[in-house]
Amino acid sequence: MHSVTIVWFKRDLRLDNHAPLMNAINSSRKILLLWIYDDFMRQSSLHSERHLCFQLESIYDLNRHLSPLNTSVLAVEGKAEEIFAQLSETLNISEMLSYRESGTHDTFERDKRVKHLLRERGILWQEFPRTGIKRGSETRQDWSRDWEHQVREEGCQTDLTRASFVSTDVLQQLALKHLQALAPKISVVQPGGRTFALQYLHSFIEARHRGYFKHISKPEAARFHCSRLSAYIAWGNLSLVEIWKKAQDAFPEGSRRDLQQFVSRLKWQSHFIQKFETDGRIEFDNQNAAFNVVRNDVNLHWVQAWKDGLTGYPLVDACMRCVAATGYLNFRMRAMVVSFLTHHLWQPWQLGAEWLGAQFLDFEPGIHFPQFQMQAATTGMHTIRIYEPIKQSLEHDAEAVFIRKWLPELAALPAGLIHQPHLLTPLEERMYSFRRGIDYPLPLVDTKVSGAKAGEILWNILKSQEAKKEAARILKAHVVSPERKKAMKRGKIFS
Ligand SMILES: Cc1cc2nc3c(=O)[nH]c(=O)nc-3n(C[C@H](O)[C@H](O)[C@H](O)COP(=O)(O)OP(=O)(O)OC[C@H]3O[C@@H](n4cnc5c(N)ncnc54)[C@H](O)[C@@H]3O)c2cc1C
């Protein structure tokens, strides 16, 4: 039997700019391309059907490119370690190559089980770092410089004609639970796959980026002017390296300020994932333990109202209904809905992180959990931002275009009234055939009161010795620029 190299696709569903695949091709062995939907994902409330569809659409797209080479991605479901055990009984596997994942606790534990199994069977597993992400004892001193170097120097076109793949016939005969790769369906959720990813990248770089920074916080305009590449990055249809290079090429003709802002966020992507890689505990626990004393009373009715978009604050509710339908919200609106849940409703961030993780098509644990904690003010290292939803509404959706789209029950109200429907007078209720508290709920809380109360409690904790001690501990482990480190030691809180 020929010896086989397995390339295990995880959050890297592409063929180009793929270091493990490149290395597999160079090994001159037969290559088997594998993707696994692990059983635990079906049970986890963080892994939604939306994510599965996106990945299957991505695989469908890969298979279109692979079919002339008489191969396809072996897409199977089950327990990863059992799948590898079965494969190793049928095939002569000499090594496995994959990217290293900075995933949730579940995926980390799965990888440990797979590693154990492979080691027992004498199969080498070589893991390649994702752009800029370091593990364990790898030095982080020059993190930023190393990141710049990698995006500049890495990247490659894959020459598939040099590869020899396990044929589709052989793959189909493997006694595993095969998953059908879906044909892409047009829906309000962005479709998965590299073909669509390249179209989004092209349209952003060619035209849509003009106005990026001006519209980045607007719930409606950001959907067009932001790149909308997050899901394609999160599931690896595109690599950061190729996006960065495309953006660099566009500088001479494009809008400099917009492209600069965009490129800086590509680095944030890795920066946040690095935080999570360094401290995976923040999937569950407050990053700064001094905040463990707050938000211990859960009000499930309020949490449900938040999830359903029935809080009585139109912009919050429009966002929650929009994300449930489309899987996307721009950054500011994500920050605002988290702020509303954690500061105004005073609920634990963990409940929201799970719910929104399943809603966001671009769910990336390495960004999601650190961002949630930043917005919930549990890091002890950043300033506390409590978004006032009506102010956000008036600033970012003044004409209520977004609100009307997602809250049809308010659509008839004029812009002057729609942001605070609970303030309508009885005469206005009759004029617009709208009943306060019946057609649309009254506000769950008064955000002037709830915001002030949350601010007072959180700032007191932030200034406490315990929070500062914790912040110093966190600082030691994380990637922070030397200037920032110095300033933070002097007690400066960053925004
Ligand atoms: C509570 C909360 C949860 C979030 N969860 C996720 C998540 O699960 N997955 C995810 O990709 N982003 C997450 N973000 C970050 C950000 O909101 C999205 O990356 C962005 O809105 C995606 O839209 P875009 O692709 O058009 O971004 P663009 O503005 O076009 O940015 C380009 C890329 O840069 C990266 N990026 C942009 N903003 C940030 C940021 N603030 N932090 C880190 N990377 C960034 C993303 O990869 C993005 O695709 C979260 C933000 C908050 C406040």
User: Does the Cβ of 343 fall within 6 Å of ligand 1?
Assistant: no
Single-letter code of the amino acid located at 155: G
Query: What dihedral do alpha carbons 63, 68, 71, 75 form, nearest 10°?
Result: 10
Predicted pLDDT of residue 492: 61
- Tell me which residue of 292, 243, 301 sits closest to 270, measured CA to CA: 243
DSSP state of 45: T
Q: How far is the CA of 230 from the centre of ligand 1 (A)?
A: 6
SS3 444: coil
Predicted pLDDT of residue 339: 98
Please tell me the residue having the least CA distance from ligand 1 atom 17.
Answer: 331
Number of the ligand 1 atom closest to the C-alpha atom of 227: 30
> Do the domains 282-489 and 194-277 match in fold?
no
Kindly list the domain boundaries of the chain, sorted by start residue. 3-130, 194-277, 282-489
User: Does the Cβ of 259 fall within 6 Å of ligand 1?
Assistant: no
194-277 belongs to which CATH class? mainly alpha
Architecture of the domain defined by 3-130: 3-Layer(aba) Sandwich (3.40)
Number of the ligand 1 atom closest to the C-alpha atom of 353: 1
Predicted pLDDT of residue 13: 98
Number of the ligand 1 atom closest to the C-alpha atom of 363: 8
- The CA-CA-CA angle for residues 318, 324, 325, to 5°, reads 90
284's CB contacts (< 8 A; 6+ apart) are: 105, 350
Please tell me the residue having the least CA distance from ligand 1 atom 4.
Answer: 368
Interval 138-173: pLDDT, tens: 667 788 889 999 898 887 788 999 999 999 999 999
C-alpha atoms less than 13 angstroms from C-alpha of 152 in its C-beta half-sphere: 6
Please tell me the residue having the least CA distance from ligand 1 atom 29.
Answer: 226
Number of the ligand 1 atom closest to the C-alpha atom of 204: 30
Predicted pLDDT of residue 475: 79
Helices (H) and strands (E) in the chain, counts: 25, 7
282-489 belongs to which CATH class? mainly alpha
User: Does the Cβ of 462 fall within 6 Å of ligand 1?
Assistant: no
**For each successive 10 residues of the chain (495 residues), what is the average pLDDT?**
90 96 94 96 91 95 96 96 95 96 95 97 95 78 87 85 94 88 73 97 98 98 98 97 96 95 97 92 96 95 98 98 98 98 98 97 97 96 94 98 98 97 98 98 98 97 94 77 60 58
Please tell me the residue having the least CA distance from ligand 1 atom 12.
Answer: 367
User: Does the Cβ of 362 fall within 6 Å of ligand 1?
Assistant: yes
Cα separation of 94 and 100, whole Å? 19
Please tell me the residue having the least CA distance from ligand 1 atom 19.
Answer: 230
* Residue with the two structure tokens 């692990």: 38
Predicted pLDDT of residue 481: 60
2's CB contacts (< 8 A; 6+ apart) are: 29, 30, 92
Number of the ligand 1 atom closest to the C-alpha atom of 360: 8
Q: How far is the CA of 421 from the centre of ligand 1 (A)?
A: 31
> Could you tell me the two tokens for 319?
């966002």
User: Does the Cβ of 234 fall within 6 Å of ligand 1?
Assistant: yes
